[in-house]
A and B are shown apart, each in its own frame.
Chain A
Amino acid sequence: MSDAVDTATPKRRGSSVPLLKRLKSLITVLLTVLLTLVGLLFVTFIIGRVMPVDPVLAIVGERASQEIYDAAYISLGLDKPLLVQFGIFLKQIAQGDFGISNLTARPVSEDIVRVFPATLELATVGTIFGVLFGVPMGVMAAVNEGKWQDQVVRFVGLFGYSMPIFWIGLVGLIIFYGLLDWVGGPGRLDVYYEDVIPVVTGLILIDSLIEGDLDIFWNAFSHIILPASILGYYSLAYISRMTRSFMLEQLSQEYITTARVKGLSERTVIWRHALGNVMIPLITVIALSYANLLEGSVLTEIIFAWPGLGSYLTTALLSADMNAVIGGTVVVGLIFVGLNLLSDFLYKVVDPRAR
């Protein structure tokens, strides 16, 4: 896991690792991940416990008698030692039980299942945007190292890193929705389209296609395009920068010279030979930026009234809905760890040297 965070350079190991050794390293990885997960849950648990909200009062109300208060206190397990409480907490989470949300009066796990697809859709379209523009920009910058193209790409990237996402979202809404009316406004759909099609995947773009309703598809598209491209701009900045440095590394290799000497066209050399090798470390980068987008969507969702995990989490935060906060934080953390692990794994599948 830490490898994915630390570096993205290819690891070179012997290709014929004995089975036992491989099994051992697999177990080590699994243990590390498990430990990280438990630690993550522990931090969240502690945050939940020191929150300045009395969970008992939230249930029994302020006018409850002392006996009712005590009974609720005990039924919540708050009289037990902290470590025992943590054990109960772990057990509940392992069963997918995050408790009941005070705000929606429904199980937090159900709430999360309901809101998560919106965030997933936003982050996915954003990442697609980032890859579609970021990779060619990075390649262009590397091929023209030091020239104006390189400077432009660098500047575009730095711009992306420097924009407050909630601000650019607001400005984007005024210009493209308010003034020009090119895109749909806040929300996932226009009001009269909402709840028209049945929920299959929860991703409206896909659900509308399954239903064959192109009107809804285009409406959803016009709503998602602005927030997704603003989110995608961030991953574009990151992806283009990493692509540039990976490409520079590849372009200085001898096989590139060989390919050129062989008389291959510059296009083949760059887009097939060099980029082909860049794709491997790039997977890690894309996975990481995907995870970052899931997080970055918190502020974007608020600006665009996007009913996803970010909106859910912040609403819960502001109304001190403890179970929902913990549930949301845990889910985001789990996805983060999961994506890191996945990128590590994909890396090994794609790159034979890393096996």
Chain B
Amino acid sequence: MSIDTTSHDQGFKGWLTSESPESRFHAQMVQLYAGWQSLVANRLAFLGFMIIVLLVLVAIFAPLLATHDPSIQNLKTTLLPPFTGGHILGTDDSGRDIWSRIIYGSRITLFIVALVAFTAPVFGLLVGTVSGYLGGWVDTVLMRITDIFLAFPRLVLALAFVSALGAGIENAILAISLTAWPPYARIARAETLTIRNSDYIAAIQLQGAGRLRIILGHIWPMCMSSLIVRVTLDMAGIILTAAGLGFLGLGAQPPSPEWGAMISSGRQFIHDHWWIATMPGLAIFIVSLGFNLLGDGLRDILDPKKAQS
């Protein structure tokens, strides 16, 4: 695929904005570019996008950005306020550099978000599409189960799961995923019900495709856009729940620089040494605001009703 094959002479940009794409790949690129442009046009959504890109970069380049080792304790430099002794955000009660801990903590946050964002929607998608496509008693049973999990308050259920499984970051992720999938299942089911009776599905059925092939290959792609919006909007909630579990001592365990756990350990010093608990909270706030801004914008961009008007 080269630029020369296009009928326009405006180079790459012309190729990207072409109204008559010449291949499937070309069409996808054109659509992607249009989406990108509307994302850039939506200032707040773009800001959110930039925050998330920044988070990823910080996580990748953590060793370069950190000024100190996040876990080395130094009892000579405990409880230093910000901007003293080469500590940008000060130090905690064990003399660890808060800036470096927050930088490394971004990896944990990203790890949690990535794992939950993968497992919960995929599981929900599986339940929802199978339920919607097969219908009948399978649908009834699966949706009843979904309703039961929806009926639970999420944090309380996650708390109960973690206490059953034992504290730790993997179990926290598992618990959050276990409580996060039902809404995805409902969305996927609703999408499947509208797709199930369409002509192209009938055509594939006539060609002899099996149920699994239809669900995975032809229904799943159609559910993606609404799921992506929902996942992005949920990310902030997932970050907050994970931080909450960390704060309660049920998530990532102490020496690890998880933001929620950092707030928890800084809590006892809050009156005299405000920065220990405040700084990681600020990090949580900025990241979840980023996801919220992006999700809010994506909803506008991907909402067909809005696009028409």
Contact = CB atoms under 8 A, between A and B. Distances in A.
User: Are A and B genuine complex partners?
Assistant: yes
Contacts of A333: 151-153, 156
A166 B164 contact: no
A166 B278 CA distance: 11
Interface in A148-197: 154-155, 158-159, 161-168, 170-171, 173-174, 178
Nearest to A163: B285
Interface string A23-52: 000000000100110011001100110111
Contact of B163 (A2, A159, A291, A320): A320
Contacts of A314: 159, 248
A299 to B, nearest CB: 5
Contacts, number: 147
B271 A299 contact: no
Contact of B236 (A39, A162, A166): A162
B82 interface: no
Interface string B64-81: 000000000000000000
Nearest to B282: A167
Contacts of A302: 248
A299 B247 contact: yes
Contact of A50 (B150, B155, B164, B244): B164
Contacts of A325: 160, 163
B163 A40 contact: no
Interface string A310-324: 000110011010000
Contact of A167 (B250, B263, B271): B263
B16 interface: no
B153 A292 contact: yes
B156 A164 contact: no
A207 interface: no
Contacts of B215: none
The secondary structure that dominates the A interface is helix
A178 B271 contact: yes
B281 A167 contact: yes
A296 B260 contact: no
Q: Which among A154, A166, A167 has the highest number of chain B CB atoms within 10 Å?
A: A167
Interface string B147-173: 111111111110111011110000000
Interface string B266-309: 01001100100110110011001101110010000000000000
A6 interface: yes
Contact of A47 (B148, B160, B243, B270): B160
Interface residues of A, number: 54
Contacts of B150: 2, 5
A294 B153 contact: yes
Contacts of B147: 1-2, 5, 32, 36, 39
A51 B271 contact: no
A126 to B, nearest CB: 15
Given A2-B150, A291-B153, A333-B151, A36 B144 contact: yes
Nearest to A335: B153
Contacts of B161: 47
B152 A6 contact: no
Contacts of B247: 164, 166, 299
Nearest to A314: B248
B201 interface: no
Given A2-B147, A44-B160, A296 B155 contact: yes
B107 interface: no
Contacts of B159: 298, 313-314, 317, 329
Contacts of B87: none
B21 interface: no
A6 to B, nearest CB: 7
Contacts of A161: 236-237, 288, 292
Contacts of B288: 161-164
A97 interface: no
Nearest to B271: A178
Nearest to A303: B267
B96 interface: no
Q: Which among B154, B244, B291 has the highest number of chain A CB atoms within 10 Å?
A: B244
Interface string A250-284: 00000000000000000000000000000000000
Contact of B145 (A39, A155, A178, A292): A39
A164 B155 contact: no
A351 interface: no
B240 interface: yes
A298 B263 contact: no
A332 interface: yes
A313 B163 CA distance: 11
A158 B148 contact: no
Nearest to B266: A170
A154 B296 contact: yes
A7 B21 CA distance: 38
A164 B263 contact: yes
A295 B154 contact: yes
B186 interface: yes
A178 to B, nearest CB: 6
B281 A171 contact: yes
A337 interface: yes
Given A166-B247, A170-B281, A298 B164 contact: no
B263 A329 contact: no
A8 B121 CA distance: 23
Contact of B277 (A170, A178, A291, A332): A170
Given A163-B285, A170-B270, A170-B281, A336 B292 contact: no
A2 B280 CA distance: 37
Given A162-B292, A165-B240, 10 more contacts: A39-B151, A50-B165, A51-B163, A158-B292, A161-B237, A162-B236, A162-B288, A295-B153, A318-B248, A333-B152
16 contacts: A39-B144, A40-B152, A43-B149, A43-B157, A51-B163, A52-B166, A162-B236, A164-B281, A166-B263, A167-B263, A173-B270, A295-B155, A329-B156, A329-B159, A332-B156, A336-B153
For the complex of A and B, 10 pairs with smallest distance between CB atoms: A167-B281, A39-B148, A295-B153, A162-B289, A162-B288, A47-B164, A317-B163, A51-B164, A158-B292, A164-B284
